């Protein structure tokens, strides 16, 4: 049996709730929101009272590298769910890039079953092609019935347009969703960072914005032809935002997300060869960064993702061009957005992009803060300061660009039905 | 005139001030005089140990540094990747820490990864001199190039310098651009469009694809080596076509209505980017560049040692 909670004087942050931006007491009984009122007294419930406490509908992160099975030295089911909870997430979509690749119902079940009775639900993505090689489509129907929520090869792009088209067509039989990370590998070449002034002055091969945009253009044409559903994961360029904006206006069933680091940094931040910020998609120009923020605000971009890629020190603490792409991010999305993007992104927008947007991409049931609804909640302390270090890092990996820097905005805990997890404040 | 460098490392020209460059040149003039004396050695770096770490092949840069170090009486250790544990998979940091445990004061390093020297400077205490980091910078080459140009033409402010060839893969090009601009020169690049970085114009550099027009514009042409070893894909169809349309030959120079200075950082692909009759002509200051290289490197070593 889960505990009952009485949350005292918390600010409810949920633009889809009638209690949005009001201060309330909230009683949670048997995993449900029992009552919301100005003042509630309840026997036997654990009282949670913190100055500045904010309650969001539980966040969901699409596209997490769980690395289990196969790469457990980076992350496993236990650490990834702990890191997700500590980052305020009640659900994550796991990528199929494990070893073996998630491409059968048994593989899907492994991830599904782990998260039974956990505060963080794992929603597995199945591979789109065998061994994520981009050649032949997988048994998507079977995986769908086992609980796979979307199909993708993770951060690997599908080079072959015919393969992507067949996948888009095949998932229509069960109203499924294809996810694609668009980056033309021939145009990206051996690029190490965004192609522009910075890459030129650092003497490194760049990844042109074109490498993403040309593929998004192709994908949108394939989508229009197949009349299917497509989610473009972690877009990074102004051109991509514009193309998707137009596609949505034309009525295509396309959704997209942006990785939080692309909102916070630009390629200029790499002038000192900081390999912690070597990520994929690469940090783009200031103009792209601005376009991404505008896309979030006007609704072109549906969600913000952590783009969590945990990696061992041996792959990151290296010369820039030898370091691998990727950053661990589950625990730092909220403080980063909270501290640095308060202006364009108010807390209502954060709720939209971290809780509602991801669920509508996945066509999942809405989780909103209303009496009688399921208690799937993220509890935040926006004014609290902390820093990520070995004492509170839940991930096995330390490749987080905010490692040991002072952060503002902390997760107090998460509640998901009968399950809950709280962190020291 | 400043008396001290603004930095404890020479990681790139980007990070030097025009004052630093002037100071290096003035110091190099003194050392050039020294190395032309019957006794070419001075005791300035006595008791200083310099490690030359070459993770990429080099003949002339390594010899030039070693000579500079020895003429300053430094103790020198040499390390090259082909004879080292790097091949056994040891990381750069481990390799260098091992060497530093042996109490090395200065590191001269060539490395294939851009920014390798930055990485190192964040982790070790010795003074670091970049002897080439991948396609990023080669600061002492740019310094000796500019020093040689100045020796020939006087103040570089307003002078027109053409850099010709494989700009995309060239650390020499990038360092030259930064250095020449800091000294007030105008810079233009010429080569096949596939070998010119798309955003080079944002550095304030002009682009010309026609070699004849480019040569007619300039006071000095610095002709770069075609770096076949850095081209994982084909950027131009053939060496034959390259030599015909982007190579510098005597006929081209004869058609100009002025004399221009010809430079090349070496090693030369004779008959590709430059023909022998041009390389060996009296327009060419290629061998003066080599001589000045030792003096400039002595100056850099001396000034960094003085900052210790």
Per-residue pLDDT of A208-259, as tens digits, reads 999 999 999 999 999 999 999 999 999 999 999 999 999 999 999 999 999 9
Which one from B9, B32, B71, B110 is the annotated catalytic residue?
B110
Of the candidates A123, A105, A107, the residue with the CA atom closest to the CA atom of residue A68: A107
| Contact between A321 and B111 using a beta-carbon 8 Å cutoff | no
For residue A293, pLDDT over 70 is answered with yes
| Contact between A320 and B14 using a beta-carbon 8 Å cutoff | no
Which one from B22, B60, B118, B230 is the annotated catalytic residue?
B60
Q: CA of B165: how far to CAs of A267, B194, B223, B278, in Å?
A: 27, 11, 6, 16
pLDDT value of position A27: 97
pLDDT value of position B82: 65
| Contact between A203 and B171 using a beta-carbon 8 Å cutoff | yes
Q: How far apart are CA A294 and CA A301, in angstroms?
A: 9
Q: What is the mean pLDDT of chain A?
A: 95
How many CA atoms lie within 13 Å of B183's alpha carbon, on the beta-carbon side?
28
For residue A134, pLDDT over 80 is answered with yes
pLDDT confidence bin for A342, thresholds 50/70/90: confident
The residue of chain B with its CA nearest to that of A273 is: B115
Q: Could you tell me if B56 lies within 8 Å of chain A, comparing CB atoms? A: no
CB B13 within 8 A of CB B182: yes
pLDDT value of position B72: 97
For residue B50, pLDDT over 80 is answered with yes
B91 noted as active-site residue: no
pLDDT value of position B92: 82
pLDDT value of position B191: 96
For residue B257, pLDDT over 90 is answered with yes
CB B295 within 8 A of CB B33: no
| Mean pLDDT along residues A59-65 | 96
For residue A141, pLDDT over 80 is answered with yes
DSSP B284: B
Q: What is the CATH number of domain A5-55+371-422?
A: 2.30.40.10
| Mean pLDDT along residues B48-70 | 94
Dihedral (C-alpha) B176, B177, B183, B188: value to the nearest 10 degrees? Answer: 110
Q: How far apart are CA A49 and CA B286, in angstroms?
A: 77
CA-based nearest distance A276→chain B, Å: 12
Of A192, A195, A201, the CB nearest to B14: A201
CB A302 within 8 A of CB A353: yes
| Mean pLDDT along residues B210-219 | 97
For residue A357, pLDDT over 70 is answered with yes
Cα dihedral A244, A247, A251, A254 sign: negative
| Contact between A197 and B136 using a beta-carbon 8 Å cutoff | no
CA-based nearest distance A399→chain B, Å: 16
Q: CA of A270: how far to CAs of A41, A96, A283, B81, B180, in Å?
A: 53, 30, 9, 28, 24
| Mean pLDDT along residues A389-412 | 96
| Mean pLDDT along residues A189-200 | 96
For residue A261, pLDDT over 90 is answered with yes
Query: Helix A238-249 crosses helix A209-226 at what angle (to 10 degrees)?
Result: 20
DSSP A132: G
| Contact between A322 and B111 using a beta-carbon 8 Å cutoff | no
pLDDT confidence bin for B283, thresholds 50/70/90: very high
Pairing of strands A5-12, A22-29: antiparallel
pLDDT value of position B91: 81
The residue of chain A with its CA nearest to that of B231 is: A190
- Where b means 16+ CB within 10 Å and e means fewer, A46-82 reads eebebeebbbbbbbbbbbbbbbbeebbebbbbebbbb
Of B113, B171, B232, the CB nearest to A322: B113
For residue B188, pLDDT over 80 is answered with yes
| Contact between B174 and A201 using a beta-carbon 8 Å cutoff | yes
| Contact between A202 and B93 using a beta-carbon 8 Å cutoff | no
Q: Give A58-361's CATH code, choosing from 3.10.20.600, 3.20.20.140, 3.40.50.1100, 3.40.50.11540.
A: 3.20.20.140
Rounded to a whole number of angstroms, the CA Rg of chain A reads 21
Cα dihedral B198, B199, B201, B204 sign: negative
| Mean pLDDT along residues A146-155 | 96
Q: Which residues contact B153 (CB under 8 A, 6 or more apart)?
A: B159, B219, B220, B261
Write phi, then psi, for A385 (nearest 5 degrees).
-105, 145
DSSP B230: G
Of B116, B199, B232, the CB nearest to A190: B232
pLDDT value of position B57: 85
Q: Choose from A187, A197, A199, A202 for mutation: most chain B CBs within 10 A.
A: A202
| A203 contacts in chain B (CB < 8 Å) | 114, 133-137, 171, 174
| Contact between B114 and A197 using a beta-carbon 8 Å cutoff | no
| B119 contacts in chain A (CB < 8 Å) | 273, 275, 318-320
pLDDT value of position A69: 94
| Mean pLDDT along residues A135-162 | 97
Q: How far apart are CA A138 and CA B222, in angstroms?
A: 56
Q: % helix / strand / coil in chain A, to the nearest 5?
A: 30, 25, 45
Residue A223 — left, alpha, or beta (φ > 0 → left; ψ -120 to 50 → alpha)?
Answer: alpha
Of the candidates A303, A417, A412, the residue with the CA atom closest to the CA atom of residue A355: A303
Q: Give domain limits for chain A.
A: 5-55+371-422, 58-361
Q: How far apart are CA B101 and CA A265, in angstroms?
A: 37
The residue of chain A with its CA nearest to that of B90 is: A314
pLDDT value of position A66: 95
Q: Which residues contact A149 (CB under 8 A, 6 or more apart)?
A: A93, A123, A124, A125, A177, A362, A364
B264 noted as active-site residue: no
CA-based nearest distance B111→chain A, Å: 10
| Contact between B116 and A319 using a beta-carbon 8 Å cutoff | yes
For residue A79, pLDDT over 90 is answered with yes
Q: What is the mean pLDDT of chain B?
A: 92
Q: What is the pLDDT of residues A369-382, one digit of tens each?
A: 999 999 999 999 99
Which one from B27, B49, B61, B275 is the annotated catalytic residue?
B61
| B111 contacts in chain A (CB < 8 Å) | 319
Q: How far apart are CA B5 and CA A80, in angstroms?
A: 49
| Mean pLDDT along residues B146-173 | 96
| Contact between B198 and A195 using a beta-carbon 8 Å cutoff | yes
| Contact between A203 and B136 using a beta-carbon 8 Å cutoff | yes
pLDDT confidence bin for B232, thresholds 50/70/90: low
Q: Which residues contact A275 (CB under 8 A, 6 or more apart)?
A: A316, A317, A318, A319, A320, A323, B119
Rounded to a whole number of angstroms, the CA Rg of chain B reads 19
The residue of chain A with its CA nearest to that of B167 is: A203
What residues are paired with A363 via a beta bridge? none
Pairing of strands B186-190, B160-164: parallel
pLDDT value of position A117: 84
| A271 contacts in chain B (CB < 8 Å) | none
pLDDT value of position B230: 62
pTM above 0.90, yes or no: yes
Of the candidates A284, A189, A318, the residue with the CA atom closest to the CA atom of residue B114: A318
CB A203 within 8 A of CB B136: yes
Q: CA of A213: how far to CAs of A218, A237, A239, in Å?
A: 9, 8, 6
For residue B2, pLDDT over 70 is answered with no
| B53 contacts in chain A (CB < 8 Å) | none
Q: What is A157-184 written as a DSSP string?
A: ----HHHHHHHHHHGGGGT--EEE----
B88 noted as active-site residue: yes
B138 noted as active-site residue: yes
Q: CA of B221: how far to CAs of A35, B152, B176, B262, in Å?
A: 80, 13, 12, 5
| A201 contacts in chain B (CB < 8 Å) | 14, 174, 203
| Contact between B92 and A208 using a beta-carbon 8 Å cutoff | no
pLDDT value of position A268: 97
Cα dihedral B155, B157, B163, B168 sign: positive
Q: Which residues contact B145 (CB under 8 A, 6 or more apart)?
A: B172, B176, B179, B222, B263, B265, B289
| B93 contacts in chain A (CB < 8 Å) | 317
CB A98 within 8 A of CB A71: yes
Q: What is A79-129 written as a DSSP string?
A: HHHHHHHHTTEEEEEEPS-SSS-S-SHHHHHHHHHHTTT-SSEEEEEEESB
Q: How far apart are CA A413 and CA A86, in angstroms?
A: 7
pLDDT confidence bin for B86, thresholds 50/70/90: low
Cα dihedral A238, A241, A245, A251 sign: positive
CB B173 within 8 A of CB B139: no
């Amino acid at each position: 049996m889960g505990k009952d909670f009485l949350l005292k004087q918390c600010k409810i942050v949920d633009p889809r709730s009638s209690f949005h931006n009001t201060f309330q007491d909230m009683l949670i009984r048997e995993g449900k929101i029992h009552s919301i009122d100005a003042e509630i007294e309840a026997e036997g419930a654990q009282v949670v009272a913190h100055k500045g406490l904010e309650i969001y509908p539980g966040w969901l992160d699409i596209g997490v590298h769980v690395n289990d099975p196969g790469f457990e030295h980076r992350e496993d089911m236990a650490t990834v769910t702990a890191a997700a909870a500590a980052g305020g997430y009640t659900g994550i979509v796991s990528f199929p890039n494990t070893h073996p690749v998630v491409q059968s119902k048994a593989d899907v079940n492994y991830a599904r079953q782990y998260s039974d009775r956990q505060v963080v639900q794992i929603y597995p993505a199945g591979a789109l092609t065998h061994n994520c090689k981009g050649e032949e489509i997988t048994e998507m129907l079977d995986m769908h019935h086992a609980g796979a929520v979307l199909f993708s090869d993770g951060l690997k792009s599908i080079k072959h347009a015919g393969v992507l088209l067949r996948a888009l067509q095949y998932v229509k039989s069960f109203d499924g969703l294809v996810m694609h990370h668009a980056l033309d590998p021939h145009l990206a070449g051996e690029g190490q960072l965004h192609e522009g002034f910075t890459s030129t002055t650092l003497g490194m091969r760049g990844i042109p914005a074109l490498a993403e945009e040309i593929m998004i253009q192709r994908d949108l044409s394939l989508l229009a032809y197949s009349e299917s559903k497509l989610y473009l994961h972690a877009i990074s360029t102004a051109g991509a935002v514009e193309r998707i904006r137009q596609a949505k206006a034309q009525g295509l069933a396309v959704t997209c997300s942006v990785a939080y680091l692309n909102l916070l940094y630009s390629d200029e931040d790499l002038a000192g060869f900081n390999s912690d910020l070597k990520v994929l998609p690469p940090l783009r120009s200031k103009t792209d960064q601005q376009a991404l923020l505008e896309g979030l605000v006007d609704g072109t971009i549906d969600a913000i993702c952590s783009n969590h890629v945990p990696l061992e020190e041996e792959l990151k603490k290296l010369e820039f061009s030898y370091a691998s792409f990727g950053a661990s991010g589950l625990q730092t999305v909220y403080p980063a957005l909270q501290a640095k993007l308060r202006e364009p992104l108010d807390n209502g927008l954060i709720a939209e992009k971290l809780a509602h947007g991801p669920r509508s991409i996945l066509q999942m049931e809405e989780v909103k803060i209303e009496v009688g609804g399921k208690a799937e909640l993220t509890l935040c302390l926006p004014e609290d300061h902390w820093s990520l270090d070995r004492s509170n890092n839940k991930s096995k990996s330390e490749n987080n660009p905010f490692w040991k820097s002072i952060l503002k905005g902390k997760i107090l805990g998460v509640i998901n039905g009968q399950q809950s997890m709280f962190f020291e404040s | 005139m400043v008396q001290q460098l603004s930095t404890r490392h020479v990681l790139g020209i980007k990070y030097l001030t025009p004052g630093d460059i002037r100071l290096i040149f003035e110091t190099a003039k003194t050392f050039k005089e020294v190395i032309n004396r019957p006794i070419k050695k001075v005791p300035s770096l006595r008791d200083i140990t310099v490690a030359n770490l070459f993770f990429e092949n080099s003949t002339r840069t390594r010899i030039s540094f070693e000579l500079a170090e020895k003429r300053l009486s430094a103790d020198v250790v040499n390390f090259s990747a082909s004879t080292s544990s790097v091949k056994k998979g040891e990381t750069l940091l481990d390799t260098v820490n091992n060497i530093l445990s042996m109490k090395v004061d200065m590191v001269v390093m060539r490395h294939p990864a851009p920014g390798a020297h930055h990485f190192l400077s964040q982790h070790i205490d010795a003074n670091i001199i970049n002897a080439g980091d991948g396609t990023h910078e080669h600061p002492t080459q740019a310094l000796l190039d500019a020093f040689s140009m100045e020796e020939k033409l006087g103040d570089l402010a307003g002078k027109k310098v053409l850099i010709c060839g494989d700009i995309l893969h060239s650390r020499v090009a990038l360092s030259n651009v930064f250095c020449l601009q800091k000294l007030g020169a105008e810079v233009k690049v010429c080569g096949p469009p596939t070998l010119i970085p798309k955003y080079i114009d944002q550095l304030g550099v002009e682009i010309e694809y026609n070699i004849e027009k480019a040569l007619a514009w300039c006071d000095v042409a610095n002709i770069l080596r075609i770096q076949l070893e850095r081209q994982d894909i084909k950027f131009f169809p053939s060496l034959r076509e390259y030599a015909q349309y982007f190579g510098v030959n005597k006929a081209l120079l004869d058609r100009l209505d002025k004399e221009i200075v010809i430079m090349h950082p070496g090693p030369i692909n004779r008959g590709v980017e430059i023909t022998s009759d041009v390389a060996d002509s009296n327009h060419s200051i290629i061998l003066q560049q080599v001589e000045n290289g030792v003096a400039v490197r002595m100056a850099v070593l001396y000034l960094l040692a003085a900052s210790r």
